[in-house]
Every structure is written in C-alpha cells, then in structure tokens.
Amino acid sequence: MAVDLARAAVPHIRPRVPFGQRLALPDGLVPLLRRIGWMLVSVGCFAGLWELLWALGIADAKLLPPPHIFLGNLAEQARFFNTAQRWQIGTGMNTGPSPAMAVLITVLASTGRVLAGLALAATLSILVGVAIRYVVLFERLTLPTITLLAPVSPIAWLPVAIFMFGIGNAPAIFMVFIALFFTMVLSTIHQIDGVNRNYINVARTMGATKRQIYARVIVPAILPGLLAVLRLNLFGAWMVVLVAEATGVGYGLGQVIMLARNTFNPSLVFFTITLIGLLGFAFDLLFRLVQRRMLYWLPRDAGSSLGL
C-alpha cells in the first residue's frame, strides 16, 4: 500500500523492468548477449592494458607491438601467408594467391589437420578404451604399452612422423593423433571405472547382456566426461599442429610463425597468434554447442561442471 501511494504521489517513478523485457528479446538471447558483452570487456581490458604499457613507454613497439600496430595493416601482414606456393613450387612472395586467399588457404590447412587428427584420436581411443575393459586378454596385451607411451612428449615423435610420412599433411595429422591418443585411452578407462555400479546392477537385473550394458549403459554414462576431455584436447591439438608445421612438415600457421621469427617480424607473430586465438575460440564455442545438443538429457546446471 505504501509503495502504491508513493508511486501515485510521484508519477514519474516507474517500476524497474529487466533489459530483455524492455527490448522484447527472446529468453535465450539475453544470456548470449551478456556473455558476448563480458567477453568483449575481458578482451578490451587486456588490449587496453597492452596499449597503456606502450603509451607509457614500458613496452617497446619493435619487440611488443600493441594491437593497433599489428592489426592496423591487415594486407601487409596477410601477404606473408603466401607460404603454400613457395613451399610447393618455390615461387616468389609476390606470386601465387592474393593475400586474403593465402590467409584462407593457410587457415584451412591447419584447421584440417587439427580436425583430422582429433577425430582419429577420439574415435580410436574410445574404441580401444572400451575394448580394454570389455576383453581381459586385450587389456593385458595393450594397457601396459599404452601406459608406457603415454608420458612421451609429442615432440619426441616428430622424427618418427617425418621418417614414416615425409612432409605434408600426414606427419602433422600423425603428430596430433599421437599426442592425444594415449591420454584419451587412459581417460576412457578411468571414465568406465567411475560409472555408478547401480546402473550396471539394474541393467543386469533387467536381463541385459554384457554387450548391451556397454552399449546402452556404460558408453552413455561416460559420454559427458569424454566430451569434456575432448574439448580440452582440442586446444592441445592446436598446439601440436603448430609445432609440426613450424618444423617444416607442411605449410600452415606454424610455418608463418617460424617465418616471422626468422625475419624478426614481431607484428606478424602477434597477428598470427591473434588469428590462432580467434580460431580456437570459435571452435571451442562450436564444440560446446554440439555438446549441449548431444547431452540433451543433462540438466542445464550440470553443464557448468563439465565446462559446457
């Protein structure tokens, strides 16, 4: 009653209405805009701090060029991405595709290697992990070797990749695969061991066979954890493919970074790093959307613990 009297006495006072309702936005769009806004604020703070250090003279523009320098001339930086033609047939810097097309070719080459290696590693690791827990003999024959090879750094496999496949796409894909396969097999085994035994006991009570238990109980139960591990390995795949490309197994973003290092071009280095970061962020966002579609049975609150 007191609130109504106050509003009647002061006509210009209006009840507060949420922002989404004032603009008549859909319910799902408001959280998305909020997340995009905080993302822009986060990136803006980082870039602003970098620009401030440059303005104060703390960061040398020749060694640590601020964003307005290495992002200010896209065409100048993009022409250095013409590495595919020079790597293949030895043509000059000014021949071959246009700068925009060279950037697209380089990005697609690195992205294709990442996705191919990640898909192979994910598929085979899940199959091998399930087979290890499904067949005792297979476990005894393979698990000790997998545990032995899991700690080996992917860099140690680089000479093996070159010996086996030479240069091109195959060694880079092999590097991504070998960097993820062993740890994902062990993660699959750990996920299987952590399945709630009540689920298995209920399935047995209902007359399910061993194959049905694995196909309809265990695999769906471990899928949320496996997708979370796969999302983290997506970043690892990008790291490994850049190392493989930087050593000369094929053209790509890693080779561009090596070119920038050899020519002492910090602007090109940070331009390429920014491009890699944008690609990784876009793929991570797309992967999270796929996760939510696949794990439709999980409540929304459960996704935060899985990185969804």
pLDDT mean over 286-299? 77
For 133-182, how does the pLDDT look when each residue is reduced to its tens digit (9 = 90+)? 888 899 999 999 999 998 888 888 888 888 888 877 888 899 899 989 99
On average, the pLDDT of the chain sits at 79
Q: What is the pLDDT of residues 223-269, one digit of tens each?
A: 888 888 888 888 888 888 888 888 766 678 888 888 888 888 888 88
128: containing domain:
80-84+101-305
Whole-number pLDDT of residue 20: 47
Q: How many CB atoms lie within 10 A of CB 143?
A: 17
Average pLDDT over residues 59-81: 78
**Residue 108, Cβ neighbours under 10 Å: how many?**
11
φ and ψ of 88, to 5 deg: -85, -50
Query: What pLDDT score does 83 carry?
Result: 58
For 32, the 3-state DSSP assignment is helix
* Sign, Cα dihedral of 224, 225, 230, 236: positive
Average pLDDT over residues 288-303: 70
| Residue 1, pLDDT score | 46
Task: Report the number of distinct structural domains present in the chain.
Answer: 1
Does the residue 8 lie in any domain? Answer: no
The model carries a pTM of 0.76
Count of Cβ atoms closer than 10 Å to residue 292 Cβ: 13
| Predicted local distance difference test score (pLDDT) of residue 205 | 86
**3-class secondary structure, 91:** coil
pLDDT at 120: 93
Q: What is the per-residue pLDDT for 56?
A: 85
User: How many other β-carbons are positioned within 10 Å of the β-carbon of residue 173?
Assistant: 27
Give a yes or no: residue 61 inside a domain: no
Give the whole-angstrom CA distance, residue 127 versus residue 132.
9
> 3-12, 116-125, 199-208, 246-255: lowest mean pLDDT where?
3-12
Q: For residue 274, what is the domain's CATH number?
A: 1.10.3720.10
* Planar angle of CA 10, 16, 21, nearest 5 degrees: 140
Query: Under the phi-then-psi rule, with left for phi > 0, alpha for psi from -120 to 50, and beta for the rest, what region is 107?
Result: alpha
Residue 56 lies in a domain: no
**306 pLDDT higher than 70:** no
Inside any domain, residue 151: yes
Whole-number Å distance between alpha carbons of 134 and 145:
18
Nearest by Cα to 257 from 80, 42, 38, 134: 80
In the prediction, which pLDDT does 197 show? 85
pLDDT at 25: 58
Q: Is residue 176 part of a domain?
A: yes
Q: So what's the pLDDT on residue 148?
A: 92
110 domain-assigned: yes
- Whether residue 185 is contained in a domain is answered as yes
Residue 39 predicted with pLDDT over 70 = yes
Report if residue 216 sits inside a domain: yes
Which pLDDT score is estimated for 18? 53
Inter-helix orientation angle 99-134/136-149, to 10°: 140
Q: How far apart are CA 275 and CA 103, in angstroms?
A: 10
C-alpha–C-alpha distance, residues 68 and 288, integer Å: 31
3-state DSSP call for residue 181?
helix
